[in-house]
Amino acid sequence: MKTIMMLFALIFSIAAFGQSSNYEIVPVQAGTVNLINANATINLDSGISADLSGNKEISYFVQLTPIGNCGVLKLGEKGNNSFTVTKAGLGSDNGSFDYIVFVKYPRMQLQQNIQPLKVNSAPGK
């Protein structure tokens, strides 16, 4: 319950920040992933990848939440098509975590391209 409350606080604070500028920050993809040998690669949905490739004003960030004995996580490389996550401390090499991808869209672009949040649950690669 505490994690859910913290997540809502994060989303509302991000939304408030996005609305005070010429950009809008939108949650666009979420899921649960299992680390395999302390690593995971998460593919971005094709629509998000197309947006990131086509406009340098669009960027994204990722919120990671370890589950159970997953330990400390580190966001590795971020590309237009995927991002990597690695275990950065104590914990299970095969632990699980939740993630949410937020995209920062220029307001004009947002009205044309926004898609509903997609929730994925798949093992890491």
Matching CATH number, 2-121, of 1.10.3470, 2.60.40, 3.30.310, 1.10.10: 2.60.40
Least confident segment among 7-21, 34-48, 93-107: 7-21
Dist CA 118 CA 63 (whole Å): 15
pLDDT at 110 over 60: no
- From 53, 72, 74, 45, select the one nearest 62 (Cα to Cα): 74
Q: Which residue has the higher pLDDT, 122 or 37?
A: 37
> What is the rounded average pLDDT for all residues in the chain?
80
Query: In the prediction, which pLDDT does 40 show?
Result: 96
Give the domain ranges of the chain.
Answer: 2-121
Dist CA 73 CA 85 (whole Å): 7
